[in-house]
A = this chain, B = another copy of it.
Amino acid sequence: MSAKATTPSDLEIARAVTLRPIEEIAASAGIPADALELYGRYKAKIDVERLPPADQLGRVVLVSAISPTPAGEGKSTLTVGLADSLARAGRRTMVALREPSLGPILGLKGGATGGGRSQVLPMEDINLHFTGDFHAITSANNALCALIDNHVFHGNELGIDPRRVTFRRVMDMNDRALREIVVGLGGPTQGVPRQDGFDITVASEVMAVFCLAKDATDLADRLARITIGYTYSRKPVTVADLGAEGVMAMLLKDAIKPNLVQTIAGTPALIHGGPFANIAHGCNSVIATTTARRLAEIVVTEAGFGADLGAEKFVDIKARSADVAPSVVVLVTTVRALKMHGGVPKDCLAEPDADALARGMPNLARHVATVRRFGLEPVVAVNRFSSDSTEELDTVLAWCSRAGVRAAVADVWGRGGGGDGGDELAREVLAALEAPGQCRQLYPLALPVDEKIRTIVRDVYGGADVEFSDLARRQLAQIEENGWGGLPVCMAKTQYSFTDDATQLGAPEGFTVHVRELWPRTGAGFIVAVTGALMTMPGLPAHPAALRMRLDDDGRPVGLF
């Protein structure tokens, strides 16, 4: 993150680490050998059924953030580093994180397993195929699509309207050309032509279902409830109507087992599932979080984007349907992001600017208020960059002190949580855990869908109102008609602003959020409220990271970072 030019790359740091055999990591986490399914020497799947009964469930520390800069505030790195610091403080700790998506890795990111001295390993494997979970999810998704088009082709007994098939094919790739396509061309023996498109695998509803399922039975039940489209008479068609939930669950039988790896410091980590943070809820699987709670005293996990999106969805979607409520929320904050919210252009964030920093604080303040609204106490983690001055860091800490918010500076990238980079933060988190909050949802499910959205916009974003497009208004009525009004809402909004306009930084007030469309996700169990432009299939840049990747003469990957 900081001073990358003069320090070793993430891959170089990762390579210098001597990994412990995964059996040792498992034993240290209390996982019996017969619950382990090895994938090479340093990865294993856990057969949750074979775990011993837990006396007590671990506490969940949720790592969230302020509204981020485009480069991100280092949430994954901090999640790993904090867990290492808590382990160093003698607490039985486990990390729960999302699996990286191959598409963005080949595009710009190069890797997504933390950074510097705070990484999960083996990063070369986790970033490439890992244990095949995303491939299994892709297969299950696309088997359903093949079965849908095949049903229409062979007589279409259910009367599916090919123009109203809403369930799309997926690929774990950034492939712009597949966003909008026409399938089924070539004449009557080749299929029924219709408009279609591919999403990236992390945007699949199967991924969301996979990550919200409590166990294999719940997984099959949720798969069965997925709406794939509508009949000519506008009635919803589900996976159960096609009878495809069985084969989909079968294709996911191994993927659904959480994956065990280790951090650089040897802390056990479960990396499992990875839904998009915009059209889905953006955190690792419920199964990984609940498994970690059975094994560890403290579970450090992450939610995508800022607290307005990630923490809100964690509380209102994930923790509503599963026993994973956080006890403490860590808000990752950087001096750079605060200066950006104070008006500094993205290219100048390394330069000191006390006034801009002060002007940016209201963004943090609003996220702090959000966390408290959930009944939880925030801990601000100032993620240190080498360009930060001591004065700037002190300004943030002083603000937190005045606001009565626990805070600490951490340098888990440079010094590692296994080193002393997160000791202070760990102390603050442990102190907060002494008096944990009582997590509560923001709204009751009985509230109408539009009112749920208004509640989020007013109480979390600080906005004034919500405007629904004509289409969204019609969809609200259909949602009530179809009996889906009792589902929670999943906001698809830019992470850069509290508003639906990515350029409105800081903490704007009095704004209106525009809901363009509503997408029922009846398997996952939420209604996606789409605001602004939305990309469910990213593209590759002009110079993709992929073109720098290769194997060296020893067969080791080069170009991941």
Q: Is B546 in contact with A173, judged by CB distance below 8 angstroms?
A: no
In the complex, which residue of chain B has the Cβ closest to the Cβ of A40? B37
Binds B, one of A88-96, A137-145, A472-480, A512-520: A137-145
Q: Is A547 in contact with B175, judged by CB distance below 8 angstroms?
A: no
Q: Is A177 in contact with B154, judged by CB distance below 8 angstroms?
A: no
User: 13 additional contacts, CB 8 Å, given A39-B40, A153-B539?
Assistant: A37-B40, A40-B45, A40-B254, A106-B146, A143-B546, A176-B184, A180-B190, A181-B181, A247-B547, A247-B549, A247-B550, A247-B559, A253-B555
24 A-B Cβ contacts within 8 A?
A37-B40, A38-B38, A40-B45, A40-B254, A102-B139, A106-B146, A128-B253, A129-B254, A135-B139, A139-B172, A146-B540, A147-B540, A149-B176, A149-B177, A150-B177, A150-B544, A153-B176, A177-B191, A177-B192, A181-B182, A181-B183, A220-B551, A245-B550, A253-B555
Proximity string of chain A (176-219) to chain B, C-beta cutoff 8 Å, 1 when within and 0 when not: 11111111111000111000100000000000000000001000
Q: Is A412 an interface residue (CB 8 A)?
A: no
Q: Is B551 in contact with A246, judged by CB distance below 8 angstroms?
A: yes
How far is A549 from B246 in the complex, measured between Cα atoms in Å? Answer: 6
Proximity string of chain A (538-561) to chain B, C-beta cutoff 8 Å, 1 when within and 0 when not: 011110101111110001011100
**Which 3 pairs between the two chains have the least Cβ-Cβ distance?**
A246-B550, A135-B135, A180-B186
Q: Is B179 in contact with A555, judged by CB distance below 8 angstroms?
A: no
Q: Is B177 in contact with A247, judged by CB distance below 8 angstroms?
A: no
In the complex, which residue of chain B has the Cβ closest to the Cβ of A106? B143
Q: Is A41 an interface residue (CB 8 A)?
A: yes
Q: How far is the CB of A403 from chain B (nearest CB, A)?
A: 43
Q: Is B174 in contact with A146, judged by CB distance below 8 angstroms?
A: yes
Residues of chain B with a CB closer than 8 A to A172's CB: 139
Q: Is A250 in contact with B177, judged by CB distance below 8 angstroms?
A: no
Q: Is B551 in contact with A253, judged by CB distance below 8 angstroms?
A: yes
Q: How far is the CB of A216 from chain B (nearest CB, A)?
A: 6
Q: Is A251 an interface residue (CB 8 A)?
A: yes
Q: Is A444 an interface residue (CB 8 A)?
A: no
In the complex, which residue of chain B has the Cβ closest to the Cβ of A139? B102
Residues of chain B with a CB closer than 8 A to A539's CB: 150, 153
Q: Is B173 in contact with A179, judged by CB distance below 8 angstroms?
A: no
Residues of chain B with a CB closer than 8 A to A30's CB: none
Q: Is A179 in contact with B171, judged by CB distance below 8 angstroms?
A: no
How far is A171 from B145 in the complex, measured between Cα atoms in Å? Answer: 12
User: Contact residues of A with B, CB < 8 Å?
Assistant: 37-41, 45, 102, 106, 125, 128-129, 131-132, 135-136, 138-139, 142-143, 145-147, 149-150, 153-155, 169, 171-186, 190-192, 196, 216, 220, 242-247, 249-251, 253-254, 539-542, 544, 546-551, 555, 557-559
How far is A147 from B173 in the complex, measured between Cα atoms in Å? Answer: 10
Q: Is B182 in contact with A185, judged by CB distance below 8 angstroms?
A: yes
Q: Is B547 in contact with A244, judged by CB distance below 8 angstroms?
A: yes
Q: How far is the CB of A72 from chain B (nearest CB, A)?
A: 23
In the complex, which residue of chain B has the Cβ closest to the Cβ of A45? B40
CB contact between A542 and one of B129, B135, B154, B191 (< 8 Å): that residue: B154
Residues of chain B with a CB closer than 8 A to A143's CB: 106, 173, 546
Residues of chain B with a CB closer than 8 A to A146's CB: 106, 173-177, 540
Residues of chain B with a CB closer than 8 A to A102's CB: 139
Q: Is A176 in contact with B190, judged by CB distance below 8 angstroms?
A: yes
Q: How far is the CB of A561 from chain B (nearest CB, A)?
A: 13
CB contact between A149 and one of B106, B175, B251 (< 8 Å): that residue: B175
How far is A278 from B190 in the complex, measured between Cα atoms in Å? Answer: 20
